[in-house]
Amino acid sequence: MLIKGADLSEKQRRWVLGAFVYRNTHENRARAEPLLNTCRLWISDAEWIADHAFHFVADGSRLDLRYKHAEPMCLVG
């Protein structure tokens, strides 16, 4: 099931940030440092989460590992 970023619990939010390590946000130091000289990262983790929906198992207890991506909110009804 898809859960909108704005509807995530704090625990789910931590899972998402841990699972999506390649997000281009200024708070994600693993991505920000190599990209520092090539582009500016203006978006925060909170904005990135709010702009996406995430696949969780039916009871919301964990991420659904069949999906390796987040859905942009513009594609979620």
76 or 36, higher pLDDT: 76
18, 24, 26, 30: which is closest to 54 by C-alpha? Answer: 18
Please give the pLDDT value at position 34. Answer: 65
Query: What is residue 36's predicted lDDT score, i.e. its pLDDT?
Result: 62
Report how many domains make up the chain.
Answer: 1
Length of the chain: 77
Distances (CA, A) of 71 to 5, 34, 39: 10, 25, 23
pLDDT digits (tens, 9 = 90+) for 22-52: 888 888 887 767 666 677 667 899 999 999 9
Residue 54 structural domain: 2-75
* The pLDDT value given to residue 76: 86
Quote the percentage of the chain above a pLDDT of 90.
66
